[in-house]
Structure formats: C-alpha cells, structure tokens
Amino acid sequence: MLVSTLAILLVSVRAAFNPLEHSGPASPYFDAPEQFGIPADTPAGCTVDQAAYIVRHGSRYPEPGSFAGWQALFNKVQNATFSVQPGPLAFLPDWTPPVDDAPHEPLFLTSTGAREAFDLGVQLRKRYRFTPGGSNFTVWSAGQQRVVDTATYFLRGYLSQGNYLSAPTLNRGTAFVLPDSVNFTFADSLTPSTSCPNYPSGDTGAASANAFRSSFQANVAKRLNAAFLRGLTLNATDIGPMMDLCGFSDEIDGDDRFCDVFEPSEWLDYEYAHDLNYYYGSGPGNPFSNTVGFPWTKAVRDLFVVGPGKAPEGAAFIPPPLIMGFTHDNNIPPVVSALGIWNTSIIPGVYPLSHTKPNPLRNFRASYLVAFRGYVALERLTCSTVPTSARHHTAGQQGSTPIGRPLGTFVRVRINDAPVPIPGCTSGPGSTCSLNKFSAHVDAQGLRAGDFAQRCGVTQTNATSDVTFLTRQPDTARGESAVVLSVP
C-alpha cells in the first residue's frame, strides 16, 4: 500500500513538473507552452498559404564526448563497492549506459528521432493541406547523416498515402542535401556559421554555461551523496552527465530513472545553463548570430512577398508552399536573432540574460527552441473578416456566401508550435504582422546584421552573402546532391 502511494505521489509530481521539458538540447520534442497569450490555432478568417520551417534533426544518440562522460560515470559506479538507500538512486548499481552499439550509434538518429520526424510530416500535411495526393515534394537538408535521415523520415510521414509503386513519377520526395561544415558555401548554406570566421569570437556561451554550472553542481552532488551509506562519492563533474541522461535515456530506450533523481530547482538551474550556452553561443548574445541567421530569413521573406507558386525573377526553381530546411541545434538560434525576437522585453532586466541569476520572465529558453526536432517557423496568412450573417450554399456550386471582407496578408512566427510576436508588429489577426510591415522589419534587421561576407571577415572573392539554394537546382561541383525517396 505504501509503495502504491509513493508511486502515485511520484506520478503527480512528474505531471506537475516534467524534467523532459527543462532539459534543453537533450529534451525529446514537445510543444512549447503558449506564450504572450496567443493561441496556436490559425486565427479565424485566416488561411496559411505558405510556410517555412528551419528544423533541428530528431532525437539522436550522444556525441562521442558525451558518451565518454557516461562511460566514465559507469566505470566509476562499477569500480566501487557501495550501498545505496532505497529511493531515486537505488537503480544505480544495475544501471548501464543506453548505447549497445558504441562503434555505430553515437551521433546517429534514434528510433524516437525517426518517429519525431515522421510525426512532423504527418502533422504539417494535415495542418496545411498544401500537397494533393500523388504530388512530389522537395525539402532541404544539411549534410550529416542524422539530418538527412530526419529529412527523409519527414518525407515519409508527409507523403505516406496510397500506393505509387507502379507510378515512378508520382509521390516522390527529394532531399536537396547541402554540404555540412565546410568553408566554401558561405551564407548559401543550412550551416552558415561554419563559414563565418568571426563567429567564434563572439561566442561566450560555453564559458557562461560552465561558470553557472559551477555555482550549483557541487551542492547537488553533496545532496545526492547522502543516499550512499559507504563506498561511492559523487562529485560536481558527475552531475552534468547524470542530468543529460534523463533526456537521452528516455528518448533512446524509455528509461526515465535519472529524471527522478533531481529536484525541480536543480532542473531549472540545469536548464538555465543551457539557456546561457545558446543565448551567448549562437543566439542574440553573440554579436554575429543575426549575421549568420539573416540570409535564410531574407530568402524566406522574399518568397513570401512574391507568394506561393512563384519565385523571385531569375529563379531556376519554384519551391513548394511548404519550405522545409533541416539542420543542427546551433543553426536555430541565429534565426531568432535575425528576426529580432526573444531578446526584448517591456520589463527591464530580462535581457541580456544574467550570467548569474535566472529571470523567470525570460522567453528565451533552450528547451523551447533546440529540443530535438525543435524549429522556428514562419507562416504567411491570407485573412478576411469573419462573416457574422448566415452562410448560404447553392446546390451545384462549391462554397458559400457571404464571404468576409479581405483584410490582407500577414506573417507570424512559431517556435516549437507556440506563436511568438514580432516586436512592434502585432496588429494583425492573432497578433500577426502585416506582410508589408514584416518585410520592412526584415530590412531593418538586415541593417543590424550587416553583409555576411564583410561582417564575418570572409576574404574569398567568390563569397556570397545570400541564400540561393531555395530557388535553384543542386550544384554537384559544390558538393550538393539530390536524394530521391519513393514513398509508396
């Protein structure tokens, strides 16, 4: 009876505070909570006719460095003779790292990551209804395998319909793969920071995060050591790997025991260390962040201005109404910087983020932005007033009357599903921004970002400061390729 009561209490606590929603880049995907009071539903009277997403790859196995930390923790436990009291740490003597194919698994997509990508494909097909049955569809991907795999699983979810094995020209997905981590693509890339020589000089994220971790990890270790009767002593350097294992173990094999080891206040400190890492590393706190995020943002703005089914003059390729780009975690915050969001507040003292004291009023949170399969999305909406009189349908005629009065075209931003207002531009339906004002906003942000090649200190004469890959064919001479996927 006591065990059942404790189990119920534990479930209740976890339901009220979920560590998996405070684990930064180790969080399996979850929808960010509503912010600024803006509901996620498309505003009444509006239809999304074009959208652009830049998406982190799905859940993966650890990087080699992280895996080495898990192995070190495992070896420390296995080489100790100790006793542990009943409670959240009682599983430790039987614990093994959640990687059973070490030569292959680190860095690659997990089954959870594949499902996250597939689910996003299904979700966006249903949300926008852009692609009729049998239509072909193109997405863009950075070059590392986990990113390409995310793109292809997304395509499978988006295009899974009917059986087209006997129709080889129909229902094909194409992943336009751009080279990853090279210095000759410049801004025309889904990993532009690697082509910006000055970018690392503005990165203080790791130092800021490590300094903040040093303020709490030793105390956490001291608290946990009270559970050991003898033989094992945890130290501050053990705490990081243990907290990482909450998210990773859950998404790899469903083991969430590490999630229950730490208290909510400790999870909030862990989360804030990641916030600092991304804010000052690749987000608004890095002065070159908006420079590397602006070219993609401008390219999407240009496509929104001409509208779906069109492309700017001289383009060789017209992208689909749903523009999907797949990349890595550090390439998501620069888009936030380029849009000028999550870096201003009417309440003083929120931004820039404090290096020592988390402000609970901040909206910039790594867990909401760079969780596995996290994304920033821009939507183009065509809106009309909602009719207040009765609607009438005439037999044999599709549609009904009366229709609302046209209001115009608007833009809104979603981050992990939650709408986020564009500063100073929220007068449209559902706090959206008119397309004209959004275009002007992007131009103003471009003045802050500067020219990519000049500001980044690129010296090559052939350097480009623009994103062109959305409106052209792959260039094999640049290491680009097209992966065609048949989805029966």
Query: Which sequence positions are flagged as catalytic?
Result: 57, 329
| Tokens, residue 343 | 């870096």
Instruction: Give how far Cα 98 sits from Cα of 95, 114, 181, 223, 249, Å.
Output: 9, 17, 28, 25, 6
User: Is 310 in a helix, a strand, or coil?
Assistant: coil
Q: DSSP per residue over 41-82, as a string? A: SPPTTEEEEEEEEEEE---BPPPHHHHHHHHHHHHHHHT---
Q: What's the chain's Rg over C-alpha atoms?
A: 24
Instruction: Give how far Cα 258 sits from Cα of 10, 246, 326, 434, Å.
Output: 13, 5, 30, 46
Residue ranges with strand state E in 16-170: 46-56, 83-84, 137-141
Helices 289-306 & 435-449, crossing angle to 10 degrees? 150
Instruction: With beta carbons less than 8 A apart as the criterion, state whether 420 and 342 touch.
Output: yes
Report the 10 Å Cβ neighbour count for 197.
13
Q: What are phi and psi of 222, to 5 degrees?
A: -60, -40
Give the helix/strand (H/E) hosting 242. Answer: helix 236-253
